[in-house]
């Protein structure tokens, strides 16, 4: 974890994410790339020209630069190498290219509370990042004076196509020095016996040497409620889930997502692309 990307619109939520990213950067001697997107046609913006067809472009560039300077001067960023990054004519769906360009290892994003987290799954900028990013995306919902991950829930159906995401989760757990709680949620309409579920999970993790984990079969009315309730029961610091890119996180839940998860997940969530 040497390069962390933090998209920012200079909002309070984005600053909360930056505060977490700063803690991670100090802990792992990483650099931070602060990204601000300006939705302006790049071909009409010429910083070397004396005249621009879009004079407002230069105004917003200067305004963004001023805000970057204000952010970089905050005490919690002292001692961290922070890069100012402005991209033109790009949507958040192009985050994959940005990550490749700067060789990013982790994206840290803020979310606007309950409403923002709900929007994450139905078309917001956060969802666009989650869907398009090849690197893990850490979504921060609240202020964290100390971002310490001791209990990390990894929720899955433990099919083979999720194995690569589990390896990413293990790397993150090793970096955080945290325990992974593997949880498979049992529901009435998709019931699996404890014996079969345990066998599936053990087969799933057999090629991974990580040993600081627990196996949990949790019964609930829906998968979403099961993840929430189990995470609450152990006071988890982080929830990890998988996404299938353009199909979105909905594929993880067999095509449907209850508002229970997006409305009530009052803790950080990290997504891994399958």
Q: How confident is the model at residue 97 (pLDDT cuts 50, 70, 90)?
A: confident
Measure the N-to-C terminal CA separation of the chain; round to a whole number of Å.
Answer: 19
Q: What percent of the chain has pLDDT over 70?
A: 76
Domains 3-140 and 151-273 fall in the same CATH topology? yes
Least confident of 15-24, 44-53, 217-226, 253-262: 253-262
Average pLDDT, the chain: 80
Answer yes or no: are the C-beta atoms of 131 and 243 closer than 8 Å: yes
Per-residue pLDDT tens over the stretch 225-240: 899 999 999 999 999 9
The arrangement of secondary structure in 3-140, i.e. its CATH architecture, is 3-Layer(aba) Sandwich (3.40)
Q: Quick check: 104 pLDDT over 80?
A: yes
User: Which has more confidence, 165 or 43?
Assistant: 165
CATH code matching the domain that covers 151-273, chosen among 3.90.79.10, 3.90.480.20, 3.40.50.720, 3.40.50.620: 3.40.50.620
Per-residue pLDDT tens over the stretch 78-87: 999 999 887 7
- For the chain, domain boundaries: 3-140, 151-273
Q: Residue 15 and residue 74: Cα distance in Å, rounded?
A: 11
Give the DSSP per-residue string, the chain: --EEEEE--SSHHHHHHHHHHHHHHHHHT-EEEEEEEE-S-GGG--TTSSS-S-HHHHHHHHHHHHHHHHHHTSGGGTTS-EEEEEEES--GGGHHHHHHHHT-SEEEEE--HHHHHHHHTTT-HHHHHHHH-SS-EEEE-S--SS----EEEEE----GGGHHHHHHHHHHHHHHT-EEEEEEEEBTTB---HHHHHHHHHHHHTT-----EEEEEEE-SSHHHHHHHHHHHTT-SEEEEEE-GGG-GGGGGTT---HHHHHH--S-EEEEE-
Q: What is the pLDDT of residue 124?
A: 63
Q: Residue 22 and residue 15: Cα distance in Å, rounded?
A: 10
Q: What is the pLDDT of residue 260?
A: 43
Q: How confident is the model at residue 112 (pLDDT cuts 50, 70, 90)?
A: low
């Amino acid at each position: 974890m040497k390069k962390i990307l933090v998209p920012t619109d200079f909002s309070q939520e984005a600053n909360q994410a930056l505060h977490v990213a700063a803690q991670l950067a100090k802990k792992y001697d990483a650099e931070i790339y602060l990204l601000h997107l300006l939705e302006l046609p790049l071909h009409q913006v010429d910083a070397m020209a004396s005249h621009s067809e879009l004079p407002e472009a230069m105004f917003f560039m200067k305004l963004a630069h001023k805000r970057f300077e204000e952010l970089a001067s905050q005490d919690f960023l002292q001692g961290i190498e922070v890069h100012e990054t402005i991209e033109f004519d790009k949507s958040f769906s192009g985050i994959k290219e940005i990550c490749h360009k700067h060789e990013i290892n982790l994206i840290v994003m803020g979310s606007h509370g309950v409403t923002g987290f709900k929007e994450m799954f139905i078309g917001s900028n956060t969802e666009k990042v989650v869907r398009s990013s090849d690197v893990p995306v850490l979504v921060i919902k609240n202020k964290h004076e100390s971002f310490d991950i001791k209990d990390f829930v990894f929720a899955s159906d433990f099919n083979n196509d999720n194995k690569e995401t589990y390896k990413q989760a293990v790397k993150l757990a090793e970096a955080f020095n945290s325990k992974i709680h593997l949880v498979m949620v049992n529901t009435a309409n998709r019931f699996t016996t404890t014996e079969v579920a345990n066998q599936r999970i053990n087969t799933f993790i057999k090629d991974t040497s990580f040993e600081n984990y627990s196996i949990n079969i949790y019964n609930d009315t829906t998968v979403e409620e099961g993840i929430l309730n189990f995470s609450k029961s152990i006071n988890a610091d982080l929830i990890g889930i998988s996404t299938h890119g353009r199909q979105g996180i909905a594929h993880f839940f067999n095509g449907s997502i209850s508002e229970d998860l997006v409305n009530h997940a009052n803790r950080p969530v990290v997504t891994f692309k399958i």
